[in-house]
Structure 1
């Protein structure tokens, strides 16, 4: 954590609103809380309902992704819900890519399973941490009183208890969104990124290095002017090259937030696309002219060049990008590891707002990525056949 803090350290002056958060964090004491059975009957019932609803919606990437959007539609002040929805769509596309046209030829079945486990676990962990926070906020609105004293019973970081208390007073959507980015990435750090199993099975594998070299880490935000489901959507987005760096993931999250929420016109176009294109996990959702969720080729037939500048060559078959339900079954998860990541108030420095717009011109890079993956798949097929 302190290496991370040095990266954002410096002597920057915090605005007054963040000074208040800093003061709250510095005086926060992780005192022992009442055992849950000693809470009021109403609080106990509420906690049980939150856990139950979260579990019901945490079945797979599709159910989680829909839950984020459904929440945002009714609570648009919670910006992270829409950012989380769009990033979770990308997580689903990455999951189905493992069984799709190119990566399925570059990985063996065991490696695909390991990569899916890695992606699914991270997606599951974030939802089971953040969605109870949303439900508690919603209930606080319903009861017209602050219920965030219940966050520790949901294993939510002390950092977020301070942030939610401040949001209840000030309704600062930006600060809450960035705080949630900080929280979720720190939450994943030891549970996923530093986890010895994923270090061995994913991060140290040739396939992970290959994926990074091919820049297959783009976060894509499709958008539309018309909302027609048959159109090829334009894309904006950014690329993450250092997944293993907590600092880089937080900064990417901040940049993605700025890209999505800095310009109301782009936000409206992304929102229109999202609400008219239900998430399936297939990349056909945004490019139906390039991808299909049904395999159009002949099994075992050698693949040839089909792509040129993000379009299919004349007469070429569409690329296979299956729906999530076609290729991955729901899997049970063991309970999330306990422990609070929060150690030092200096993490507040990440909350300082940067207002410059972000260049989200990702189309060219994404097109090159697809073509490089196609060439890699063709080369591997040629070598081993």
Structure 2
């Protein structure tokens, strides 16, 4: 696991880079740090929902019920993020979460698609899915009540953030929401939610012994070493081919908390800092319901339906020619979530304590400018071609091994 010395050094480098490329909200960060320092000196009051009465209890029950209803699977979560952004566009994080959650769905269905199952055993795919699902589930369960409580506050014309602790929300976010009510600083709120959610899953998922087999697997290491992990935002482009381009970042490693937070920071900068991406994302998302199939954004390469010829094909032959299929080649199978995985019961409670133990957490609330190389369309095509070659080599080896036996 990444040690604290490395994480500290990495975080310092990121802050220095941000100061050079466009540090933002410095005065507000100092104020949040001060408030957080004062709050952490006090012993928090018990937040037992059974003690709530009247309107507070009714609102708590309504938000809890709605969160549970929408937290059924990746598709319902992704849709819920989009719908709340439509109702409250000042909640920039909701749009960011919607697009990142789409990527989570693609990763889930890839495990039952045309390529990865040829290189992974069924048990490995199941472990990967459970890891992704648990992180997806926990982030939604923590963040969505916050968004609904803000919406209820806006409708009531007064802040209702005293209810946040009853949903198990960190003191860190209580202070940020209180400041947001006064300042309406959407960027700062987004950075805070990115920091909060990544810290929230750090010990519950990433460092959880239950998921160590996944974290230590060859496939996971290969993803990080070969830079195969790309988070992309499909966006409608009137000028390019294909018409849906991909903006985003390549994730160096999922193991580093600092890197995950910085990934969120850079994704936000691209989504809200590049007008062509923001406008194109909205146009695409409005007309494209999320199914978790990659055919949602590139139907010229992917199909949600498995074809008969694929089922009997043992040795895989690469089908791509750059961003398009070779002549006569079948599209890659990318199933919708419902065809790939059943809904998962998540009876296990989140567990753990408030992650925020120091006012230093506020140091991560800075923004950055979007990078110049944000269009990953060609890079994603190269990655896909690399995976195709690896699959072809694997199936060729397995075929020769079987023939010798």
Q: With the length of structure 2 as denominator, give the TM-score of the two structures.
A: 0.90
Secondary structure (helix, strand or coil) at the match of 1:299 reads: helix
In the alignment, structure 1 segments of 5+ residues that lack a partner are none
Aligned partners of 2:230 and 2:249 also within 8 Å: yes
CA distance in 2 between counterparts of 1:350 and 1:382 reads: 48
1:222 aligns with 2:208: no
Match of 1:132 among 117, 134, 145: 145
- With 231-240 and 149-158 compared, the bigger mean Cα shift is at 231-240
Match of 2:34 among 12, 15, 23: 23
* CA separation of 1:170 and 1:298: change in aligned 2, threshold 3 A: closer
Aligned partners of 1:5 and 1:347 also within 8 Å: no
Aligned to 2:172: 159
CA distance in 1 between counterparts of 2:232 and 2:387 reads: 17
The 5-angstrom pairing of residues 102-251 of structure 1 reads 102-199=115-212, 201-225=213-237, 232-251=243-262
Match of 1:331 among 328, 337, 344: 344
**Number of aligned residue pairs:** 382
Aligned to 2:325: 312
- With 303-312 and 165-174 compared, the bigger mean Cα shift is at 303-312
- With 333-342 and 102-111 compared, the bigger mean Cα shift is at 333-342
* CA separation of 1:44 and 1:114: change in aligned 2, threshold 3 A: same
Aligned partners of 1:102 and 1:374 also within 8 Å: yes
Aligned partners of 1:214 and 1:373 also within 8 Å: no
Aligned partners of 2:49 and 2:57 also within 8 Å: yes
Runs of 4+ in 1 over 6 A off after TM superposition: 10-14
* CA separation of 1:310 and 1:30: change in aligned 2, threshold 3 A: farther
Deviation at 1:154, TM superposition (A): 0.1
Deviation at 1:246, TM superposition (A): 0.3
Deviation at 1:353, TM superposition (A): 2.7
Aligned partners of 1:284 and 1:292 also within 8 Å: yes
Deviation at 1:368, TM superposition (A): 1.3
Query: RMSD across aligned C-alpha pairs, in angstroms?
Result: 2.1
Aligned partners of 1:155 and 1:338 also within 8 Å: no
The 5-angstrom pairing of residues 2-21 of structure 1 reads 3=5, 4-5=7-8, 7-9=10-12, 15-21=26-32
Aligned partners of 2:293 and 2:335 also within 8 Å: yes
CA distance in 1 between counterparts of 2:364 and 2:130 reads: 30
Aligned partners of 2:234 and 2:247 also within 8 Å: yes
- With 363-372 and 353-362 compared, the bigger mean Cα shift is at 353-362
CA distance in 2 between counterparts of 1:294 and 1:248 reads: 36
1:74 aligns with 2:108: no
Deviation at 1:266, TM superposition (A): 2.1
Deviation at 1:338, TM superposition (A): 3.1
Deviation at 1:16, TM superposition (A): 2.1
- With 340-349 and 245-254 compared, the bigger mean Cα shift is at 340-349
Aligned partners of 2:305 and 2:333 also within 8 Å: yes
Aligned partners of 1:232 and 1:287 also within 8 Å: no
- With 102-111 and 265-274 compared, the bigger mean Cα shift is at 265-274
1:261 aligns with 2:269: no
Aligned to 2:288: 277
In the alignment, structure 2 segments of 5+ residues that lack a partner are 400-405
Match of 1:369 among 383, 386, 402: 383
Aligned to 2:396: 382
1:347 aligns with 2:361: yes
The 5-angstrom pairing of residues 57-96 of structure 1 reads 57-96=70-109
Match of 2:374 among 351, 355, 360: 360
Aligned partners of 2:79 and 2:98 also within 8 Å: yes
CA distance in 2 between counterparts of 1:231 and 1:68 reads: 27
Deviation at 1:299, TM superposition (A): 1.7
Aligned partners of 1:8 and 1:349 also within 8 Å: no
User: Which string of whole-angstrom CA distances, capped at 9 and with x for unpartnered residues, describes residues 227-270 of structure 1?
Assistant: xxx97411111110211000001011100000000123320111
